[in-house]
A and B are shown apart, each in its own frame.
Chain A
Amino acid sequence: MTLLSVENLTVALPPGGDRPHAVEGITLAVNPGEILCVVGESGSGKSITANATMGLLPKGLPVTSGRIMFEGQNLLALSPEAMRRLRGQRLAMIFQEPMTALNPVMRVGEQIAEAMRVHGVGGNAAARVIELLAAVNLPDPAATARSYPFRLSGGQRQRVMIAMALALEPTLLIADEPTTALDVTTQMQILRLIREIQGRRGTGVMFITHDFGVVAEIADRVAVMQKGRIVEQGPAAEVLNNPQHPYTQGLIAAVPHGGAMMTPPSTAPLVLQAKGIEKTYRRPGGWFGPKPVVRAVHDADFVLRKGETLGLVGESGSGKSTLARCVVKLVQPEKGEIVFEGADLRPLSRGAWKPYRKRIQMVFQDPFASLNPRRKVGDIIAEGPITHGTPRAEALARARELLSLVQLDAGAMERFPHEFSGGQRQRIGIARALAMEPELLIADEPVSALDVSVQAQVLALLADIRARLGLTMLFITHDLRVAAQVCDRIAVMRRGAIVEQGPTAEVFGNPQHEYTRQLLDSIPGRGWTPPVLAAE
């Protein structure tokens, strides 16, 4: 007997959108004790499906046809009051952003107890809360119950959210990208926790994600969505290893394969040498006691040889971005040497740095924030060379060439950034960096804000440009699969220090440091090797 069955669900979009329906003709089912992964790229309608089930659709998106049957009743036909009683008690949801999903001014134990009290079962709430917090493997549940959300880390908050969702023992749990905002090691713990709890209680889970690694990790069955439709549905092993629909095949082919390249150690001349860089942030403390100190970067020496790519990997807060920003003087380190082709860049003034700006360029993480929204794309690409004295006409002609190098047509010159998709914007960002004809390119998470298929295109573009122009690259990423694919050597950072570095194959094949091993173990779906498809 199925627990939840969505039958032929269609949700309309407001007129004037790029398509008439947010989701169209969706049919899927979740059985008790089963994890159904709904997977798709951004805008595919997967969150709409989840919100429709919870009765959380915004007013502008009406359901035009279909039924959502849950335990024998049609959820769409229920009154708001009846729906409210079901929500939380029988159906529960975990959201993506654990940072904002909890009330910041209420103790977490209180919040979980409130969820129970609302449904009239708050009698022994205090004891239940502690039980629940223990069930989600939080250390010292009694103390956690008394703390405010800001004292907890992202992973801990997500555990609290899960505890809250489970408080009334729902039969169906909907998880909307619950691990996307978390670090890999935390993600793995949360995935294991969901799997374990679901197994223990026989809850049905509808798990929404964009990451095929996560799918491989926990799914029993998979539904693949594209532009509001389900294009393929089936048992996880089937869909992952033998995808039928071309879209699924494309998505799986785009998953970074993680196979490390074997490259002989480079003996080319040194381009960049970072020695003893230290950056410490001091927060303004009170009048008494020491100021809180965060050592963002320390003990992070590395060298870059001509033509090679060094991957800087680590979790958020490990200092990898700060280290990269020290190299381009966006952050001023207080100690150390940054030797670029024999000259120490750290003590240089703004003016003395200017000649090096041409030679060291950077690609930023967020394609939506890294282009000035008020300037035309042509100007954005050409302004670097113009700043350095290239005549305007020549710089614009060069910008045109660069656009074709990054596979955009010349018509883009006259348009504004908001007219482009994320992947296209990232190409513009790359073109802007290349316009300076740099010798060293620093790429700060250049693909982490992009969908997997776009990610594959941008990575291919970077690899191509790098080979063609002989660029040296410092590549920062939190995604080990991407790092394995792109980098010749890897440096693993933790809490501001590089704990291990070496050739990619060696670091991944034979990790020396215990933290590296932990990171590698946390790659979701590491037991699954994406099949080599005929489509490629």
Chain B
Amino acid sequence: MKDFWRRFSRNRGAVVGLVILLLVCLVAALADVIFPGSPWDMATAPFMPPGEEGMLLGSDSLGRDVAAGIAHGSRISLMVGAVSTVAALAIGVSLGALAGYLGGWVDDAVMRFTEFFQTIPSFVFAILLVAIFTPTIGSVVFAIAVVSWPPVARVVRAEFLSLRSREFVQAAEVLGKSRLAIVVTDILPNALSPIVVLSSLMVASAILLESALSFLGLGDPNLMTWGFLIGSGRSVIRIAWWMSVFPGLAIFLTVLALNLVGEGLSDALNPRLARKRGGAA
């Protein structure tokens, strides 16, 4: 574990990312303390620029505090990112494991099914799903999970294919372990590092997807989200730039932080590759 931290912290960007991410989480956790009351409530006059009337990041067209909106929105964004990633992992890992371990026609069937999902542009598909199921937070999470599992399935399948023929898996086979036990105790722990790296990137793209959906007005109408904030500021961007810019910065920083952490994780989990990259630079 100590070793893991040493390797992780050698990548400075990753440490910066982790700090930003922790800050975002902190803001999300303390949103009710820093900005008590609902972010939908009117707090001041409309269109106050940042710094005036005690509005740190300005107010929007209805006099709502943009900073409060960002702080409360971070909860929804992080939650959507985390939950939809967990759901996508559950689908992707089980299908990928099934295809990679069993091989043969099961592999063929699962991979064709996966390709079917991959041929549809994921954003268009997500819009379609949300439109069909009416925009609620549940349907948004569901839509994001459904469009983001195929890469997981492919990665897991590839890992399983190569691990399946390794001697320690054959040894487990010879010991008479059940298939499920072999998959869970022998193969999966060894396939974990790419899954961990991939999932940190998936959280980032889930946050982006959710923001994009909210921007288009397909988010949950009862929840304050970053995408909604940008969407509502879009029409008045010439007179109130802060309405779109600050939520945009929040998305940018969070996604960047997740990507940096993902790269750091990949370095820490595959030390051989990291050293090579360091040597080439």
Contacts and interface: CB of A to CB of B under 8 A. Distances in A.
Nearest to B176: A357
Contact of B177 (A362, A374, A383): A383
A361 B173 CA distance: 10
Nearest to A330: B170
Contacts of A436: 175
A395 to B, nearest CB: 12
A358 interface: yes
Interface in A351-397: 353-354, 357-358, 360-362, 364-366, 369-375, 383-384, 387-388
A432 interface: yes
A388 B178 CA distance: 10
Interface string B165-176: 011101111111
Interface in B224-239: none
A371 B181 CA distance: 16
Interface residues of A, number: 27
Given A369-B166, A369-B167, A374 B190 contact: yes
Interface in B137-185: 166-168, 170-179, 181, 185
Nearest to A442: B174
Nearest to A368: B167
A370 B190 CA distance: 13
Interface string A327-343: 01010000000000000
Contacts of A358: 176
A71 B172 CA distance: 57
A372 to B, nearest CB: 5
A429 interface: yes
Nearest to A357: B176
Nearest to A371: B168
B171 A432 contact: yes
Nearest to B169: A372
Contact of A362 (B171, B181, B190): B171
Interface of B: 166-168, 170-179, 181, 185-186, 189-190
Given A369-B167, A371-B168, A375-B186, 16 more contacts: A357-B174, A357-B175, A361-B175, A362-B174, A364-B167, A365-B167, A370-B171, A372-B168, A372-B185, A374-B189, A383-B172, A383-B175, A387-B177, A387-B181, A429-B171, A432-B171
Interface of A: 328, 330, 350, 353-354, 357-358, 360-362, 364-366, 369-375, 383-384, 387-388, 429, 432, 436
14 contacts: A354-B176, A362-B171, A364-B171, A370-B168, A370-B170, A371-B168, A372-B172, A373-B190, A384-B176, A387-B176, A387-B177, A429-B171, A432-B175, A436-B175
Closest 9 CB pairs of A and B: A357-B176, A370-B167, A384-B175, A374-B189, A364-B167, A369-B167, A372-B168, A354-B176, A362-B174
